[in-house]
Every structure is written in structure tokens, then in C-alpha cells.
Structure 1
Amino acid sequence: MNTENLKQSVIKMNCALAMDKKIVGIKFLFTESDYEAADVQPVKKRIHYCVMVKAAMAGTGFKATGDDLTCLGGARATGLKAADDYNKSGQHSKKLGLYRDMTTAKSVRDGIGICDHHAYGIMVKPLEEYNQEPDVVMMVSNPYNIMRILQGYSYYYGLQSNFKMTGNQAICSEATATPYLSNDINVSMMCIGTRHEAGWKDDELAVAFPYNRFETITKGVMETINIMDNNEKKKAIEEKLVLNNIKELGIRYNHNYYDDIPI
């Protein structure tokens, strides 16, 4: 793993986007020795997984075992706790009132991202702090920034036609398990549980993808600045690029595909 490339990509993504939260990396800790070697503090008390993610986006990384997680849905989705037949059958989500009948609940349960491994623990911390490859990269931001990330993804990878979204189990399933299992990008509209517990804003969404796509998606976001962003955004981006001594992109004002490029 090239840590300098990682740090440069984080800087570039933060130059290109007006982010108010850190980009985080998520790593599954499959054994007790993996857990002990993870270079962050364990959570100080039992906590929701999505609250761990929120803390990491504010700059404080943590690690946790399945027993540390108060939300069993998060523990099951990330493979830290095994699901029983009551959950696998859809009975649990049907009882909660998430779906109108058992067949709908069962089809959702079979289709959403639930890790089928057993991991001893999980670590979440700011991406730039990693010295080994994380498994998943996650960002939470406004719809404009999520759009730009998708445009950067599409620049290199084209159409992603297999998004998984239900408005439930957002951070744990849609933004952790799903990109890990699919090896692809996913977007989450969040869920009521995480908006309540972690306190996300009403206009915040999550996007996540495997770490192996981070540098390429960053390149895609950079490559599409001139044709996507307006002059006001370009000015702010250019100031950040200059401040960080990034010279590879020349900002072109009054130049967008929707204004002056023939279609």
C-alpha cells in the first residue's frame, strides 16, 4: 500500500468537494490478534456502529467487537454477530413494521447486504490515518457532493445499475456490507435509526465503495471538475489546489459541458 498516494488522494478529494466531514476507512478485524493490533482505541462503552462512523468522521477512530455494539442490526450486517432464523426469515423486520407482509420482509432480508463472514471486530477511522489497506471507504455529505462522486465513478467505470437502497440499515448494510460484498459503489439515503442515533442532517446521504476504487474515483472527480462545476465552485477548488500545491489540474472558467461544449 502506498500511503503517500492515499494521503494525496484524500487531499485531492477534499479540494474537489466542500466536505465538512472526514472520509473514513472501515476495516474488518477477523481475529483477536487483528483486533489487538488495530491502532485505535476500543470504544469506551457500548455504542451503535453508525455512531462509531460519525465519530470517525469527526476525527476520532475506534474499534469494537460484536459485544460492544448496541444495535444488533449493525452487528449482524457487518458479520460481528450471527443472524438467527428469526432474522433470516424476515420475521424481525416484519414485526418492526418495516414491510407490509412476510414475503416482502423475506425478499428484502435476502437481498440486502449482510456479511456472511464472522469477524472478531471492526475498525473505523479517518482514511488518511491508515497504513494498511482498509476494506471500505465511506463518505457522508450533501447530494451535490454525492453526485460528484458518482460522476467521478462513472467517468472510469460507467453505469452502476445495481444500487441497493431500502432506507433501512443505512450505514451498516447499505454503506458497509453492500460495497464490501459487491466490490462496487453504493449510495444510501440513510435510515431513521441512524439519523436518530448519530444525528445526521436531513440533507445528508452516504456513499461507500471498496478501497480498491478510491484513487480511481478521486481521479474521476478531478477529471470532471472543469465540465461539471460552475465558476464559483471552481474558484474555491482552485484556491484549495494552490494551497495544497497540486498543479496537475488547470481550472478552466466559463467552461462546462452544459454551456459551451456542443452536444
Structure 2
Amino acid sequence: MVSWLPRAMLLACVAFLILGPLSNILIWAFAEQWFFPAKLPTEWGFKFWERVFRPRAGAMDAMTMSLVIALLTVAVSMLLAVPAGYALARRSIPCRALVMLAFLLPQAIPSVAVHQSIGQIFYTIGLNGTVPGVVLVHTLHGLVFAVWITSAAFASVDRDLEAAARDLGATPGQVFRSITLPLAFPGLIASAIFVFLGSIDEFTGTFFVGVPDIQTLPILLYTASMQGSYQIASITAIFLLIPSLLFMVIVERFLKADVAAKIGT
């Protein structure tokens, strides 16, 4: 009993930290009336779900906009990350460690300061309040995952297989298409998923660059919270949570141990 009790207590604490906030979101999503000092809602129902799905509520438009921006961010990030990741993994690049570190700089600087500065620059060149402007801001952060994971995916490919293909007469392009790219593809998928999840949850960049013309789900969630509409905010949070959970299961399948071990090396 003594041996498993600490483990059980630790597991219970972890479960509480993870499931506690989620359970509160679920309660608020179905609460129609909940006033202090009641421990639980006094009325339950789907009234606020109906409000969210009203055409005038803008939730569906915000969801569509979030998906469009996230998909465009994935496309731009991967177009930049695949050649960059391949070069960093397979070519001798001077100051490679500094180049890899440069992709982390946007994460090291407080995001509010970064996005405020970007917002001022975009305003002067006409990108403020546009989808391309928001996509560029999301790509700035997406490249961290895209380049690092893509580089690790290419680094994990066995070079002996490529050498064998070249010995059999394959051209460099054929080796890349038939050997390197298929073997690195699971890591590329994982990289794209991380970029997608980061984009669809991005708030600060969208706020400083896109508002008021661009409305995404995180912006809608923030607006509802500031107005005290906790039910609307909780329902919106559920919409953001579902793809995150589904895609993380996919990432666990595609991001293999050999690829993960190469990240940052």
C-alpha cells in the first residue's frame, strides 16, 4: 500500500490539473443560470449553444476564418521549412547552431512587444486588417516548429539508403523523391500539424494585426470573456479544444522517437 500510494496521489494531482479546468469549461458550456453561492448551475440547457450557432453571432464565420488562416499558415510555413530543414540537416552551413537559434527568437521575446511592433509596420504598408498580414504573423511563430521538426525529420533518414540508390544510378532528384521525402514524410506531417494548432490558437498576433477586420475563434473567445459571457467563451473554447486533441493523437503516431531525438541537434 505504501509503494503505490505516492504514485496514486501524484496521478490524482496531475489529473486534477488537467481535467479541472476542462470540467469547468464543460459546466459553463451547459449552464444557463449559475450565481454565487451555488456550487453548480441552477439551470442547465443548450440555450447558449443556439446563440453561438446563430448567423448573426459570427461564430461560424470566425471558425471558417480560423481554418482558412491556419491552412494558409501551414502552406507558407512548409514551403519555407522543407528546403530550409533539408539544408540544415544535410548541408554544411556555417554557424548552423546560430541559424537554428534564430528561429527561436520570436518565442524568446515577449509576444505582445513583437506583435505590437509588427502591427505598426503592417499598418504603414497596408497589411493591417488583412488575411495575408495575419498569415505572415502566424508563420513567424509556425516556422519554429516547422523548421526544427522538418530538420529533424530529414536528419533521421538513413543516408546509407540514399547512397545505395545513387549507386544504382538514381539521380539526386530521384533519390529525394523516392527515398528521402517518403521516409521524412511522417515528420513533415507532424510539423504541419504543430503549425496548424499553433495558428488556430493564436490570439496576440491576430489581435494586433487583424482586429477589427479579422475575427477568429480566439478573438471571439476573448471578446465573450471580456463581456462576461462565460457560456459563449466556454463553447468557443470547446471548438478550439477538439481539433487540438484529435491532432495531438495523430502527432503521437507520426512523430516517431528517432525524429524526436533529432530535434535541435
Given the two structures, how large is their TM-score scaled by the length of structure 1?
0.20
Given the two structures, how large is their TM-score scaled by the length of structure 2?
0.20
Identify which of structures 1 and 2 has the higher relative contact order when contacts are C-alpha pairs closer than 8 Å and 6+ apart: 2
